[in-house]
Amino acid sequence: MRLQKYLADCGVASRRKCEELIKQGRIKINGSVVSELGIKVNDGDKISFDDKIVSLKGVKVYYMLNKPEGYITSVTDDRGRQTVIDLVPDKSERVFPVGRLDYQTSGMLLLTNDGDFAYKMTHPKHIIPKTYVAKVKGEVSKESIELLKNGVRIENYITSKAKVEVVACDSYTTSLQITIHEGKNRQIRKMCTAVGHNVISLKRVAIGNIGLNDLRLGNIRKLTCDELKYLNNL
């Protein structure tokens, strides 16, 4: 088994994040630092992350968190800020976030110790719709809605088609429900800015057809068997 997959299966982080940890020299095999990708783990090897031994977990767990604003989507933070792991009651399960939500974004975030599941949910080849509610400044015109639906230029690329509808508005703000099928960095915020409307607040409300429903802000629950089956079949 390759080192990055072993680390992900141990619940250290997602496979991509584990690759970063290896490059940073934070992983050791039998006491020696390794910094190259592709190294294989053999039976009997002792693997450590930041000098703490890690081992494979027998039971895979899958959670949904309603993330509040002001939490980093990471296992640890070098600057000492609160992370989403601080909201997990049982730290022994060594879960990590699947994908990311910005520091100032709230809403649905999946957590797991299953590296294969996280890899599938975040790899670009798997097209998984994600739905957000963005509260923006000003009244959004029909023309701007059409632009958001059909694709807007962000930096050096044009966004894919999106589903966009107005869910609330007044003279000063508009709340848009936006469903996208890609996950560029800060994409929703940049899309709204591209049509002249800065985002006041942003919340992810669904992944596929699985919604937050009545999960309260800051709370966490296990995914149901049906939810997990649905996500694995996307």
pLDDT tens string 156-190: 889 999 999 999 999 899 999 999 998 888 999 99
**Which percentage of the chain shows pLDDT scores above 70?**
100
- What pLDDT is stored for residue 8 in this prediction? 87
Cα-based distances in Å from 29 to 7, 36, 204: 11, 12, 38
To the question of domain 130-207 being in CATH 3.30.420.480, the answer is no
116 is catalytic: no
* 99 Rama sector, left if φ>0, alpha if ψ -120 to 50, beta otherwise: left
Right CATH number for 3-54 from 3.30.260.10, 3.40.390.10, 3.90.25.10, 3.10.290.10?
A: 3.10.290.10
Among 52-61, 128-137, 142-151, the minimum mean pLDDT is found in 52-61
The class level of CATH for 62-125+213-232 reads alpha beta
Cβ atoms of 39 and 4 closer than 8 Å:
no
Q: Which of 102, 116, 170, 226 is catalytic?
A: 102
What is the chain's mean pLDDT, rounded? 93
One-letter amino acid at 73 equals T
3-54 and 62-125+213-232 agree in CATH topology: no
Q: Tell me how far apart the alpha carbons of residues 22 and 33 are, in angstroms, rounded to a whole number.
A: 9
pLDDT digits (tens, 9 = 90+) for 180-233: 998 888 999 999 999 999 999 999 999 999 999 999 999 999 999 999 999 999
- For the chain, give every domain's residue range: 3-54, 62-125+213-232, 130-207
Tens digits of residue pLDDT in 146-160: 999 999 999 888 999
Q: Cα 102 to chain center, whole Å? A: 9
Token duo for residue 10: 């141990």
Residue 35's contacts (CB-CB under 8 Å, 6 or more residues apart) are 22, 23, 24, 25
